Amino acid sequence: MAVREILTVPNPILKEVSKPVDKVDEELRSLMDDMLDSMYAADGIGLAAIQVGVPKRVIVMDLDWGRGERNPRYFVNPVLSDPSDNKLPYEEGCLSVPTYYDEVERPDRVRIDYLDYDGKPKTEIAEGMFAVCIQHEMDHLEGVLFIDHLSRLKRQRAVQKVKKLARLRDQDDAA
Ligand code: NI
């Protein structure tokens, strides 16, 4: 297991559409292990493979992280359907847009079909924060970030903030 670098905006790789996984094998599980480590190291609750530069339809998540528990979830080739009409406004953040948070509205309930860590097909109904998080991560697989749901002005502000942060970090590293 290893912590990998998480790409941040405006890295163009984040705009790529991820490809379906052919087989859930040891190599893919190793990627999922690394993704989980990287997510925990960055204090996140969800991560898509493209955020570590791998364009595969893979998501890891742990909604209990931060509550002192570990309850990792793995989603391979996830497909969402049956979104509720009811929308939930939620203050979202993203490890690829560090330190920027803003409200996005999404359906508060959605069905997910996916393969788990062992490659077994699963179906779940996600509600509340789980529904928000899986839709946010699914967007990553299509090259969409949560800031793409905001106004152009807000999006530009978010990217500028992250660029500034990256510059400061580079200066620190050089010092
Ligand atoms: Ni994200």
Q: Is the pLDDT of residue 155 over 90?
A: yes
- What distance in Å separates the CA atoms of residue 89 and residue 100, rounded to the nearest whole number? 16
Whole-number Å distance, alpha carbon 144 to ligand 1 midpoint, is 9
Whole-number Å distance, alpha carbon 127 to ligand 1 midpoint, is 18
pLDDT band, residue 174 (cuts 50/70/90): confident
What average pLDDT does this structure show over 68-95? 96
- What distance in Å separates the CA atoms of residue 99 and residue 147, rounded to the nearest whole number? 12
Whole-number Å distance, alpha carbon 175 to ligand 1 midpoint, is 30
pTM value > 0.85: yes
Residue 32 lies in a domain: yes
pLDDT band, residue 169 (cuts 50/70/90): confident
Residue 2 lies in a domain: no
∠ at Cα 59 (37, 49), nearest 5°? 70
Q: Which pLDDT value is given to residue 96?
A: 98
Residue 25 lies in a domain: yes
Residue 79 lies in a domain: yes
Residue 5 lies in a domain: no
Domain hosting residue 167, numbered range:
12-174
| Pairing mode of beta strands 87-92, 121-127 | unpaired
What sign results for the dihedral spanned by CA atoms 47, 61, 74, 42?
positive
137 part of the active site = yes
∠ at Cα 98 (92, 101), nearest 5°? 30
* pLDDT tens digit sequence for 112-147: 999 999 999 999 999 999 999 999 999 999 999 999
Q: How many domains, the chain?
A: 1
Quote the distance between the C-alpha of residue 74 and its chain's center. 12
What sections of the chain are H helices per DSSP? 26-41, 128-141, 152-174
Whole-number Å distance, alpha carbon 121 to ligand 1 midpoint, is 24
Residue 3 lies in a domain: no
- What distance in Å separates the CA atoms of residue 135 and residue 106, rounded to the nearest whole number? 8
Considering only residues 59 and 173, tell me which one the structure prediction assigns the higher pLDDT: 59
* pLDDT tens digit sequence for 4-31: 999 999 999 999 999 999 999 999 999 9
Residue 128, domain CATH: 3.90.45.10
Residue 18 lies in a domain: yes
Among the listed residues 69, 105, 127, 137, the single catalytic one is 137
